[in-house]
């Protein structure tokens, strides 16, 4: 799946999308493009505006400004047509607990206009797809949360949607269940070519499955891109974090580091120095240590994982717009 240079067609687009609840702006002029076959992660804490964005994309909430378009259809003006093309997996999937998984899928299939042999074949295919064939004849009330999420994906796939929107899909699932769900999400994008938008605050899971990510804070999209792009962008904007170990590890070493231009603070964790700097000092630090007779054993620019990148963007957003957090909305 290629997104650079808009090689793949845009499937989800928002322009200036805005939603207010009284004095609270839940979504603030959101511009977003998600391409065909892409898994896009919408990241942010509770209150960031993720759920409100999802509701507007599904045509379940009217925007106060801007527009949301899915496959060329305005989500607000053509909500019925949009619902035919979009599948939605909420954070807590509801099923009839006294019915089996198979019976729940049969009920959904009939709502989608399927009957007879075509319906039964579709049920079998989908149960196999989500690895639920044996569990299909057990009551849904006995399922674990991970099993309900997988049955939820089968339920969503019953109408063969082009787009799937997932709200906190891994919340409350055990590690093995998360692994299975992540594999299934990637398979839906890569094998089926479906476009998937998932909202989450669980950064590690998102990092493993998404092609691109958008960081959402206080209703605003403050950054968007691949993991590598987000890391490069935040590194260019200021403070960085270095991990360093060198030989000999003596008192003078700390003084040499502290005397480097740009160093903000130093911490010592076991045999490793953690250095916060106003800009990238790796080249200058390496040169200085060599001239002082030190051998570098380890030197790494931290912040290459999503947790560190997210923390830096969130700190930046707090500095620019205050650290107050919206509550009552995800």
pLDDT band at residue 304, thresholds of 50, 70 and 90?
Answer: low
Task: Sort residue 59 into left (φ over 0), alpha (ψ -120 to 50) or beta.
Answer: left
Q: Are residues 210 and 312 in the same domain?
A: no
The residue from 225, 254, 272 where one domain ends is: 225
Task: Tell whether 81 and 211 lie within a shared domain.
Answer: yes
* Domains in the chain, number: 2
> Helix %, strand %, coil % for the chain, to 5?
40, 30, 30
Q: What is the pLDDT of residue 67?
A: 96
* Dihedral pair phi/psi, residue 117, rounded to 5°: -65, -35
Query: Which residues in 113-203 belong to E strands, given as ranges?
Result: 163-167, 195-200
Higher pLDDT residue, 309 or 186? 186
The boundaries of the domain holding residue 198 are 4-225
For residues 190-200, give the mean pLDDT: 94
pLDDT of residue 320: 55
- Domain co-membership, 54 together with 30: yes
Asked if residue 188 has pLDDT above 90, the reply is yes
Q: Are residues 216 and 243 in the same domain?
A: no
Q: Which of the listed residues 195, 210, 225 is the one where a domain comes to its end?
A: 225
Residue 105, Cβ density class (10 Å: 0-12 exposed, 13-18 middle, ≥19 buried) = buried
Q: Which of 72-81, 84-93, 103-112, 316-325 has the lowest mean pLDDT?
A: 316-325
Answer whether residue 253 shows pLDDT above 70: yes
Are residues 142 and 184 located together in one domain of the fold? yes
For the stretch 144-167, pLDDT in tens is 999 999 999 999 999 999 999 999
pLDDT band at 54 (very low <50, low <70, confident <90, very high): very high
pLDDT computed for residue 318 by the predictor: 62
Helices 101-111 and 116-129 meet at what angle, rounded to 10? 130
113 and 84, same structural domain? yes
For 261-297, the pLDDT digits (tens) are 989 889 988 788 989 887 778 899 999 999 999 999 9
pLDDT of residue 323: 39
């Amino acid at each position: 799946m290629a997104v650079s240079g808009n090689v793949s067609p845009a499937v989800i687009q928002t322009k200036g999308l805005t939603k207010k609840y009284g004095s609270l702006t839940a979504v603030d002029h959101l511009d977003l493009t998600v391409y065909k076959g892409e898994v896009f992660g919408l990241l942010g804490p509770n209150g960031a505006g993720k759920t409100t964005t999802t509701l507007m994309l599904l045509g379940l909430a009217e925007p106060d400004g801007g527009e949301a378009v899915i496959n060329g259809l305005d989500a607000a003006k053509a909500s019925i047509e949009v619902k035919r093309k979009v599948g939605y997996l909420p954070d807590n999937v509801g099923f009839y607990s006294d019915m089996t998984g198979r019976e729940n899928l049969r009920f959904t299939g009939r709502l989608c206009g399927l009957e007879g042999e075509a319906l039964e074949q579709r049920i079998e295919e989908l149960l196999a797809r989500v690895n639920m064939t044996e569990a299909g004849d057990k009551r849904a009330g006995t399922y674990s949360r991970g099993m309900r999420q997988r049955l939820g994906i089968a339920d969503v796939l019953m109408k063969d949607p082009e787009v799937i929107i997932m709200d906190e899909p891994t919340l409350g699932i055990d590690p093995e269940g998360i692994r299975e769900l992540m594999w299934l999400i990637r398979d839906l994008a890569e094998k089926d070519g479906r476009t998937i938008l998932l909202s989450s605050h669980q950064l590690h899971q998102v990092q493993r499955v998404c092609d691109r990510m958008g960081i959402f804070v206080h209703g605003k999209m403050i950054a968007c891109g691949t993991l590598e792009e987000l890391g490069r962008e935040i590194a260019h904007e200021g403070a960085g974090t270095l991990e360093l170990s060198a030989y000999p590890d003596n008192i003078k070493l700390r003084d040499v580091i502290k005397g480097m231009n740009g160093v903000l603070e130093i911490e010592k964790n076991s045999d490793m120095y953690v250095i916060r700097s106003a800009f990238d000092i790796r080249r200058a630090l390496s040169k200085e240590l060599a001239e002082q007779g030190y051998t570098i054993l380890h030197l790494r620019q931290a912040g290459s994982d999503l947790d560190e990148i997210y923390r830096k963007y969130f700190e930046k957003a707090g500095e620019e717009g205050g650290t107050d957090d919206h509550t009552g909305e995800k």
